[in-house]
Amino acid sequence: MKTKVQACIIDDEQDGRDYISLLLKNEFPDIQISFQASSVEEAYVNLIKSAPDILFLDIQLKDGTAFDLLSKFREINSLIIFITAFEHFAIQAIKNGATDYLLKPIKRMDFIIAVNKALEINKKNKSISVSSSQNKISLPTLQGFKLTNISDIVRCEADSSYTTFYMSDKTNIIVSKTLHEFEEFLADYNFFRIHHKHLINLSHLKEYIKGKGGQVIMTDNSVLDVSVRKKNDFLHKIEHLE
């Protein structure tokens, strides 16, 4: 079990990697650097092995850009702090789920603010818990958290680094956490991921419509696509529902 916050540094310049390492050592000694990389390919090889809590990501790399790297993944669970010498990448960085955006040369105070912001989000993300005895899940919100009955969740939908919970009472809860992490939490509660965007509560499944991948209709009358890749596993799961 990880006891320290894990970070990685991806920058094509050794001086850049060294400076971030020094700032972390001096200002955030409890953050552990799990790896460093200078290229898209090197970073990709490391990221498929482990997902750090915080990713310091330079936009211009030796063999491409940060966005080339991110496009290789369906989801990135790390909080991303983009680092670049070019302001015009800001909008693209935000669209790619930036936690913050730092311009080179990095100012110490800007760095401290960005990392503290990431640590706060990381702390909220890790506050999600499931009470197996009460069948409830605690979902962090901007105001605090909501303790929710798992049986009341109809479905969950991914939106970049956020997840929207659609409840049986027609309310929605938006949480700053990826769908992948909820998939792991809810696997034992009759939830199944039918699509990279959709995790459904099979107890709220009304109907399946045949097709290339097919579609499901939920108790809230939402119609959701089943991916071709997930179709066989989904149908097998339905056949063996308890």
Kindly report the CATH number that applies to the domain delimited by 5-125: 3.40.50.2300
* SS3 label, residue 142: coil
CATH 2.40.50.1020 for the 129-239 domain, yes or no: yes
- The answer to whether the 5-125 and 129-239 domains have the same CATH topology is no
Q: What is the pTM of this model?
A: 0.57
| Span 181-231, pLDDT tens digits | 788 778 888 999 999 999 999 999 999 999 999 999 999 999 999 999 999
C-alpha 38/C-alpha 57 separation (Å) is 10
Say yes or no to pLDDT of 28 above 90.
Answer: yes
Model confidence at 1, in pLDDT bands (50, 70, 90)?
very low
Domain residue extents for the chain: 5-125, 129-239
* Pairing assessment for the beta strands 54-58 and 5-10 based on DSSP bridges: parallel
* 29-36 long-range contacts, CB within 8 A, separation 24+: 30/4, 30/5, 31/4, 31/5, 31/6, 31/7, 31/115, 32/4, 32/5, 32/6, 32/7, 33/6, 33/7, 33/8, 33/9, 34/6, 34/7, 34/8, 35/8, 36/8, 36/9, 36/10, 36/11
**Mean of the pLDDT values across residues 89-118?**
85
pLDDT at 191: 95
